Amino acid sequence: MTTLEVHFPDELAMRLDELVGAGLVADRNQAIIEALRRFLEAHRPELMESQMLADVEWGLHGKE
């Protein structure tokens, strides 16, 4: 397992602690791991490429 040190604004830390306090996540680590997992899934290179190609296609041939 890899350890990362993360610095982020106090406001985000407070919001994160609210989620932990409400029992929506077990702890900060779990929340950050889940957020990173979702970010990486949404930003896969092949997914981003297909979205860009769709945007270009719409720009060239789309109707307003």
* pLDDT tens by residue, 5-63: 989 999 999 999 999 999 999 999 999 999 999 998 887 777 667 777 777 778 878 76
Would you say residue 2 has pLDDT above 70? yes
Q: pLDDT class for 64, splitting at 50, 70, 90?
A: low
Give the pTM: 0.63
Distances (CA, A) of 30 to 4, 19, 35, 36, 39: 13, 11, 9, 10, 14
Contact at 8 Å (CB) between 19 and 31?
A: yes
Say what the pLDDT of residue 7 is.
94
Is the torsion defined by CA of 46, 48, 49, 51 positive or negative?
Answer: positive
